[in-house]
Amino acid sequence: MIRSAFLLLLVLAAGACAPAARRHATVDIGIHYSHYSITRIDVPAGVPVTFTIHNDDPIDHELLLGDPAMHERHRTGAEPVHAARPDELTIPAMSTRTTTLTFPVAMTLTYMCHLPGHEAYGMTGVLVARF
């Protein structure tokens, strides 16, 4: 009897946790010496993912997430600051920024900093979203 109750509790606990995990994921990314702390991120597709990016450098950085065509546009773009889109962030020196994105389908994207010379210096990473 006691054993059954304990098993039931376990199942309930699992049931309570699993949906929560599926409802929302979080990713922490650091930036130090002009490099992302993570260069590959795996996230669940179909649920909101909150990204928190800490810039420890005394210079500004960006985290722009997209496909090759999007990055090509930004390589030659002239926007000094990104703030209007959740997948295009400017992270000022010594600051933290947060954004939440949902990837509706499985996909692979890259994230980069397109400030002059930063991509070549290694500020790139890959994000894989899958169910």
Q: Which amino acid type is present at position 43?
A: V
Q: How far is the CB of 30 from other proteins (least distance, A)?
A: 13
125: left (phi over 0), alpha (psi -120 to 50) or beta: beta
Number of residues in the chain: 131
Q: Which residues pair with 18 in a beta bridge?
A: none
Residues 25-64 as x/- pattern, contact with other proteins by CB under 8 A: -------xxx---------------------xxxxx----
| Contact between 94 and other proteins per CB under 8 A | yes
| Contact between 73 and other proteins per CB under 8 A | no
The rounded distance, in Å, linking the Cα atoms of 55 and 61 is 7
Contact residues for other proteins (CB under 8 A)? 32-34, 56-60, 93-94, 115-118, 120-121, 123
